[in-house]
Chains A and B, each alone.
Chain A
Amino acid sequence: GEDVEQSLFLSVREGDSSVINCTYTDSSSTYLYWYKQEPGAGLQLLTYIFSNMDMKQDQRLTVLLNKKDKHLSLRIADTQTGDSAIYFCADDMRFGAGTRLTVKP
């Protein structure tokens, strides 16, 4: 069946950039999304990209989409300790397993 995959862990130092990668299989998705989940909380929509775009920038967040390779990435510039959380990528209905981002001071 269709699937969304992402690496489970990422650790960076405060002030560095974080890049979280995701691959998906369903090419019919209209949008692709990034969500943030803080401990014990629900999901917060961070950003999304329309499937016919290849880049979207929103303040410290940059989303890159390679539709040919079905690869999505989220770059967080100047990562802060408050960015520590689990980040989920998703297509229209499926979610990846989440990448736990740890930001070290």
Chain B
Amino acid sequence: GAVVSQHPSRVICKSGTSVKIECRSLDFQATTMFWYRQFPKQSLMLMATSNEGSKATYEQGVEKDKFLINHASLTLSTLTVTSAHPEDSSFYICSARDPVLAKNIQYFGAGTRLSVL
């Protein structure tokens, strides 16, 4: 079945540094990928929809300059947390839809746990 790979699985960084998270669709070309953030004991929050070849669509309240999304190819989307601060510490999960086989099914990456010191 379709597989989405997310890297790294865990990152610890100092406050003020930038962190890049990669999301790859391994078995299919994903024109659209999604980035979620999960706070402890809370639901997933959709941050943005990443569109291949165009600008990402951000949800209300999500800072575009803080969370940079690039979807340069049909199999790769990246989320860069710029100038990370401790409040950015969270679990970030990406997902992708296979537009050919299963348009409405989201396949999720394993997530990235970001800890900002």
Contact = CB atoms under 8 A, between A and B. Distances in A.
- Is B truly associated with A? yes
Chief secondary structure at chain B's binding surface: strand
A30 interface: yes
Interface string A1-39: 000100010000000000000000000001101010000
Q: Which 10 A-B pairs have the closest CB atoms?
A: A42-B110, A43-B108, A97-B43, A42-B111, A95-B44, A31-B104, A95-B43, A42-B108, A42-B109, A42-B93
Interface string A30-63: 1101010000111111001000000000000000
Interface of A: 4, 8, 30-31, 33, 35, 40-45, 48, 88, 92-98
How large, as a class, is the contact surface on chain B?
Answer: 10 to 19
Interface in B72-111: 93, 95, 104-111
Contacts of B109: 42
A45 B43 contact: no
A96 B43 CA distance: 6
Nearest to A96: B43
A4 B113 CA distance: 25
A48 B105 contact: yes
Contacts of B95: 43
